[in-house]
Chain A
Amino acid sequence: MAKLVDVLQRDSCFQPGSTLCAGCMESIAFQNIGKLTDNGRKTIFALGTFCGEVSTLQYPNPVAWGRGEETPDDWTKSFGIMHHVFESAPSVAEGIADTAQQLFEIGALSQQVQVCSLSGDGGALSIGLRTLLHTIARGTSLTIFVLINEIFANTGFQYSPTTSLGSETSTTPVSELLPGNMTPPIDYLGLAVTAGAQRVVQASPAHPKFFNRMVEQGLSGSGTTIIFVPSPCITGWKYPDGETVHLAQLACETGFFPCYAKERGRPGELKFVELDATKRPPIEAFLGLQRRFQHLVRFNKATGTYDIRPGQEESVARIRDWIQHRLEQLQRLA
Chain B
Amino acid sequence: MEMIAERLEQILAHGALELRGDGRAGSGVVLTMQSIASTAIADPSLHVQEWPFFSSARKGAPTRGFLRLSRRPIEKASQVTHPHIAMMVDEGVSAFVDFAQGVPPGGIFVINTPLTPEAAAEKYRLTGRVYTIDGNTIAMQHLKQPLGNISLFALLCDILPGLSAEAGREHLEILLTKRRLPRPLIESNGNLFMASVGVARHADCVCGTTTDHHVSPFRGYGELAPGAQSRLRLSRTNLTSAYARTGFQLHFSDPDGLCNGCGHCIINCPENIISFRPDAATGVRVTGAEISRYCKLCNECIAVCPKKLFSEIPILHSQAV
Q: Residues of A at under 8 Å CB distance from B?
A: 4-5, 8-9, 12, 14-25, 27-28, 31-32, 34, 51, 54-56, 58-64, 66, 154, 173-174, 205-206, 208, 234-235, 241-246, 294
The distance from the CB of A29 to the nearest CB of chain B, in whole angstroms, is 9
B 230-250 to A, binary, CB cutoff 8 A, 1 in contact else 0:
001111111110011000000
- Checking B244, B294, B300 against A245 with a beta-carbon cut-off of 8 angstroms, the contacting residue is B300
Cβ–Cβ < 8 Å partners of A32 in chain B: 267
Structural contact, A59 and B233, CB atoms closer than 8 A: yes
- Partner pick for B238 among A9, A19, A208, CB 8 A cutoff: A19
* B70, chain A: closest CB distance, angstroms: 31
Query: Do A19 and B268 touch (CB < 8 A)?
Result: no
Assess whether B222 is interfacial by the CB under 8 Å rule: no
Interchain CB contact under 8 A, A5 and B56: no
Contacts of B263 in A (CB 8 A): 4-5, 8, 208
Q: Judge whether B114 is part of the interface by a CB distance below 8 angstroms.
A: no
A20 CB contact (under 8 Å) in B237, B270, B273, B293: B270
Whether the pair A246, B303 counts as a contact (CB closer than 8 A) is yes
Q: Does B180 contact A (CB under 8 A)?
A: yes
Given contacts A8-B263, A22-B298, A55-B57, is CB(A245)–CB(B237) below 8 Å?
Answer: no
Is B6 among interface residues, defined by CB-CB distance under 8 A?
Answer: no
B10 at the interface (CB under 8 A from A): no
Interface contact A16-B235, CB-CB below 8 Å: yes
Please judge, given known A-B contacts A208-B267, A243-B303, whether A24 and B233 are in contact too, CB under 8 Å: no
CB pair A23–B58 under 8 Å, yes or no, is no
Contact A62 to B298, CB < 8 A, known contacts A31-B270, A235-B59? no
Closest to A206 in B: B268
What A residues does B232 contact at CB under 8 A? Answer: 60-61
Residue of A nearest to B180 (CB): A173
Number of A-B contacts (CB under 8 A): 146
In the assembled complex, the CB of A37 is this many whole angstroms from the nearest CB of chain B, namely: 14
Distance between Cα atoms of A208 and B262 in the complex (Å): 11
Across the A-B interface, the 4 shortest Cβ-Cβ residue pairs: A242-B299, A23-B298, A17-B235, A27-B270
Is B160's beta carbon under 8 Å from chain A? no
Interface contact A54-B303, CB-CB below 8 Å: no
Q: List 29 A-B contacts (CB under 8 A).
A: A5-B284, A8-B266, A9-B278, A15-B272, A19-B55, A19-B238, A21-B296, A23-B270, A23-B296, A23-B298, A25-B270, A28-B268, A31-B270, A54-B56, A55-B58, A56-B235, A58-B57, A60-B233, A61-B233, A62-B238, A63-B233, A66-B235, A174-B180, A205-B268, A234-B59, A242-B299, A242-B302, A245-B300, A245-B304
Since A4-B263, A19-B57, A205-B267 are in contact, a sample of 6 more A-B pairs with Cβ atoms closer than 8 Å, ordered by chain A residue number, is A8-B283, A15-B236, A59-B233, A234-B59, A244-B298, A245-B304
Q: Mark B267-308, 1 if CB is under 8 A from A, else 0.
A: 111111100101000011000000001101111101110000
| Contact assessment for A244 and B300 in the assembled complex, using a CB-CB cutoff below 8 Å | yes
> Which B residues are in CB contact (< 8 Å) with A60?
232-233
Residues in chain B near residue A54, CB distance under 8 A: 56
Task: Give the nearest-CB partner of A53 in chain B.
Answer: B56
Q: Does B161 belong to the interface (CB within 8 Å)?
A: no
Indicate whether A63 sits within 8 Å of B235 (C-beta atoms), given known contacts A5-B283, A9-B278. Answer: yes
CA gap between A248 and B16 in the complex, in Å: 51
- Is B60 at the interface (CB under 8 A from chain A)? yes
- Contact with A242, one of B261, B284, B298 (Cβ below 8 angstroms): B298
In the complex, which residues of chain A have a beta carbon less than 8 angstroms from the beta carbon of B180? Answer: 173-174
B299→A64 contact, CB < 8 A: no
Known: A27-B271, A205-B268. A18 touches B59 (CB 8 A): no
Known A23-B300, A246-B303; contact A17-B272, beta-carbon cutoff 8 A: no
Cβ–Cβ < 8 Å partners of A235 in chain B: 58-59
- In the docked arrangement, what's the CA distance between A34 and B272, Å? 11
B270 engages A24 (CB within 8 Å): yes
Cβ–Cβ contact A31 & B269, under 8 A: yes
| Docked CA distance A4–B180 (Å) | 45
Q: How far is the CB of B179 from chain A (nearest CB, A)?
A: 10
CA distance in complex: A298, B298 (Å)? 25
Q: Is the CB of B267 within 8 A of A14?
A: no
Q: Which residues of B contact A294 (CB under 8 A)?
A: 182
Nearest B residue to A249, CB-CB: B304
- If A60-B232, A234-B59, A244-B300 touch, does A19 touch B240 (CB 8 Å cutoff)? yes
Q: Are B58 and A24 in touch, CB under 8 angstroms?
A: yes
Residues of A within 8 A of B269 (CB): 28, 31
CA distance A154 to B58 in the complex (A): 9
- With beta carbons under 8 angstroms apart, the residue of B58, B234, B284, B302 that contacts A21 is B58
Q: What residue in chain A is nearest B310 (Cβ atoms)?
A: A242
Residues from chain A with a CB closer than 8 A to the CB of B93 are none
| Cβ-based interface call for B156 (8 A) | no
Residue numbers in A under 8 Å from B278 (CB-CB): 9
Query: Is there an interface contact between B298 and A241, defined as CB atoms closer than 8 Å?
Result: yes
A24 to B57 alpha-carbon distance, docked (Å): 13
**Chain B minimum-CB-distance residue to A17:** B235
What residue in chain B is nearest A246 (Cβ atoms)? B303
Bound-state Cα–Cα, A66 to B233, Å = 11
User: Which residues of the other chain, B, contact A21 by a CB distance below 8 angstroms?
Assistant: 58-60, 296, 298
Which residues on the A side are within 8 Å of B272 (C-beta)? 12, 14-16, 31, 34
User: Which residues of the other chain, B, contact A64 by a CB distance below 8 angstroms?
Assistant: 235
- Contact between B273 and A16 (Cβ–Cβ < 8 Å)? yes
Residue of A15, A19, A51, A205 contacting most chain B CB atoms (<10 Å): A19
Q: Across the interface, do A22 and B235 meet the contact criterion of CB distance under 8 Å?
A: no
Residue among A12, A54, A245 with max Cβ neighbours from chain B (10 Å) = A245
